[in-house]
Amino acid sequence: MTATNALLAPVRISPVRFRSITSKAQAPGPASPTAQAHRDAHFARTHYGQALSPKPSPDAPVLRMLMFGKPGAGKGTLSTRLVNKYDINFLSAGDILRQNIADKTEVGRIAEEIVAAGGLLPDDVITTVVTSKLDAPALQHRPWILDGFPRTVGQGELLDVHLRNKSTPLSLIVNVDVSDEIILGRISDRWIHSPSGRVYNMSYNRPKVDGRDDVTGEPLVKRPDDNPEIFARRLKAFYEQTSPLLAYYASRASASTRLVTLKGATSDEIWPQLEGIVQQSFRLRPKDSSSHSPRVDLASPRREEGKRVAEMPA
């Protein structure tokens, strides 16, 4: 079997092995503020040769970012930290599509007819849907993270052409690289509060009352795809669909469009690496100093992570 075929081979994970893995994959508890500060500084010095909060040059580019990673790798957690700390717009491709359909825009009517007939949206249609929001005046010269798009190389090519024609090319593509076994341990213990997207983990971030959200007291829910069989299918789909996309962006990487791979076992380990990159390379305003800025967010990263769930049994 070739290396490529081995990469794309179906992933088989037995429930017994799943339980064995999850019993071993215990994530560390939250660090104290002082320990976290030392950890952040260490990562920044290790990866970028300087402490956090470097000052970018006056002509630093605008952050236009895509983030890829296996299901359960922590993309939602990392996006949430960026959006909560900095004046960055989070855009969900799924919500952009639903808004166009609800507003009955020209491309929204086309998409609605295709979806109603049970068809899949062609690459050019879904690209037009997404770029209709990226072209909004409120987003010009504003930093953003795009979630859920592109999903194919064809979509990536169309998005690149459109953004470059508008002189607003992508500036950062992030690949969050976490091992399969660590992710398995995370998803087995994961419960969420669907309305807010708050995520709990029974190993290291338990709710105050089992099965209840800390803030509202409402029941926690579990995603139906948080089981080994469905995870294996999602992982196979990632290797088949996203690996070619990453290869495409690697071939297109340049000084203005960077592709970075961030490795770690937890989001706490990966976060200092991500923050170091965006602080060093882009001009970002802290959230508390930019509350007057217009926002066009269509979803929060946490709410996106909390969709398609099944209620936790009593």
pLDDT recorded at residue 50? 38
The whole-number pLDDT of residue 222 equals 87
Coil, strand or helix at 89: strand
pLDDT of residue 174 exceeding 50: yes
Domain boundaries, the chain: 62-287
CATH no. for 62-287: 3.40.50.300
Average pLDDT over residues 279-296: 69
pLDDT greater than 50 at residue 96? yes
Say which residues have a Cβ less than 8 Å from residue 236's Cβ, sequence separation at least 6: 8, 10, 11
- 284 has pLDDT over 50: yes
pLDDT at 278: 94
Arithmetic mean of pLDDT, 93-117: 91
CB proximity list for 219: less than 8 A, separation 6 or greater? 211, 212, 213, 311, 312
Say which range, 113-117, 172-176, 177-181, 293-297, has the weakest mean pLDDT: 293-297
For 115-120, what is the mean pLDDT? 86
In sequence order, the β-bridge partners of residue 147 are 92
Quote the pLDDT of residue 49.
39
Check residue 58 and give its pLDDT.
60
Are the C-beta atoms of residues 304 and 147 closer than 8 Å to each other?
yes
pLDDT at residue 25 tops 70: no
Name the percent of the chain in helix, strand, coil, to the closest 5: 50, 15, 40
Instruction: Provide the pLDDT confidence category of residue 266 given band limits of 50, 70 and 90.
Output: confident
* Class of residue 61 by CB neighbours under 10 A (exposed 0-12, middle 13-18, buried 19+): buried
Neighbouring residues of 76: CB distance < 8 A, sequence distance ≥ 6: 197, 199, 301, 302, 304, 305
- Percentage of the chain beyond pLDDT 70 is 73
Q: What does pTM read for this prediction?
A: 0.69
pLDDT of res. 45: 43
Using alpha carbons, select from 199, 150, 209 the residue that is nearest to residue 307.
199
Strand order in the sheet with 198-201: 198-201, 190-193, 221-222, 310-311
Averaged pLDDT of the chain: 78
User: Does residue 119 register a pLDDT over 90?
Assistant: no
pLDDT band at 16 (very low <50, low <70, confident <90, very high): very low
Under 8 Å CB-to-CB from 4, ≥6 apart: which residues? none
pLDDT of residue 56: 57
Label residue 292 by pLDDT band (50, 70, 90). Answer: very low
**What average pLDDT does range 294-309 have in this prediction?**
46
Give the closest residue to 285 by CA, choosing from 143, 86, 59, 81. 86
- The answer on pLDDT for 299 being more than 90 is no
Phi, psi (degrees; rounded to nearest 5) at 24: -95, -30
